Amino acid sequence: MKFVALIGLIDEADCIGTCIDYHLAIGFDHIVVTDIGSTDGSIEIVEDRIAATSRVSLLHAGLDLRSTNWPGRMLEFAVTELKPDYVAHIDPDEFWIPYGGTLASLRDPGQADVMSVRRYNAVQNVDEVVNGRQLDPARFREQIVYIERAPVDANSPIGTPIYSGAIGPKVMHRGVGAQLSLGHHSVASPQLKTQVVPEDLLILHFPISSYAKFEQKYRNAAATLAANPQMHPTAAWHWRRLAKAIEHGTLDEEYRHQLFNTEQIERLSTLGRVGPLEGVFARRA
């Protein structure tokens, strides 16, 4: 069975290399990256992978094409050129973790047309994040994540850990053309009829890094919102919230409240609000 991962990329030099290496290692046969105007060295990292393996491809959308359907074009390329059995839509800062360690161990491929995969946000320790993301695949199952989903939205006051709220799933689906929702949380096609929520596959998402990367990420988000005025006003609320924080000069305050020290994380764990990803698997798989 052939698995292909599709990744949209803009300024993720601190994680894109690990993302590609990790997903190739767990059994993705090919990874297609579409760059949307990176300027931080991300493209060069992808090109290094292309030089090392034929299992990575790079497409270019560019800043001027942010408002066009680059995800659809990437899917079309994958379906036409690579002929996968399944396609997964992956962000550079997330890691798909099969309970059995590899995609070959999953129960649902071959049985379902679409897998809607639960995502969990990592709880970020201030001592680890200040100099950038700490991404060690050997520790992914030990990573503390938000288990209890807090009632957080665009109107929550400054000081709210916004990543403790609900986080949408991502999809893996049969290798056919399809209509993707914003953020790739769902997919629609007459050819995709059956859907499951797999118990043996979870996604670990690292939503935050150093402050410089945090600011860069949401400046890029603000530019994307500006290029897409047709986007529904309730869509991508965290983008809108943090783009507005840039305008109001409060982004640094928002950032500080997304990080926790070790004592705070231990307290949240005692309350059952956070815990290791392995524990989530133990309850589900």
CATH of the domain at 264: 3.90.550
250: alpha, beta or left? (left if phi > 0; alpha if psi -120 to 50): alpha
Q: Say how many C-beta atoms besides its own lie within 10 A of residue 147's C-beta.
A: 19
Distance, in Å, from the CA atom of 271 to the CA atom of 275, rounded to the nearest integer, reads 10
Distance, in Å, from the CA atom of 30 to the CA atom of 41, rounded to the nearest integer, reads 22
Residue 67 is predicted with a pLDDT of 57
| CA atoms within 13 Å, Cβ hemisphere of 195 | 16
Indicate the pairing of strand 94-98 with strand 201-205. Answer: antiparallel
Q: Is the pTM of this model over 0.85?
A: yes
194 vs 111, 128, 174, 203, CA distance in Å?
9, 41, 10, 21
User: Which residue segment(s) compose the domain that 244 sits in?
Assistant: 3-284
Please give the distance of CA 153 from its chain centroid, rounded to a whole number.
19
229 vs 37, 233, 235, CA distance in Å?
19, 9, 11
Which amino acid type is present at position 33?
V
Residue 245 is predicted with a pLDDT of 87
Distance, in Å, from the CA atom of 260 to the CA atom of 123, rounded to the nearest integer, reads 8
From the list 72, 74, 70, the residue with the least C-alpha distance to 31 is 74
Distance, in Å, from the CA atom of 281 to the CA atom of 285, rounded to the nearest integer, reads 5
Distance, in Å, from the CA atom of 127 to the CA atom of 134, rounded to the nearest integer, reads 10
Q: Which positions of the chain have pLDDT values less than 70?
A: 62-68, 284-285
How many domains does one find in the chain? 1
Residue 120 is predicted with a pLDDT of 96
Q: What three-state secondary structure class fits 275?
A: strand
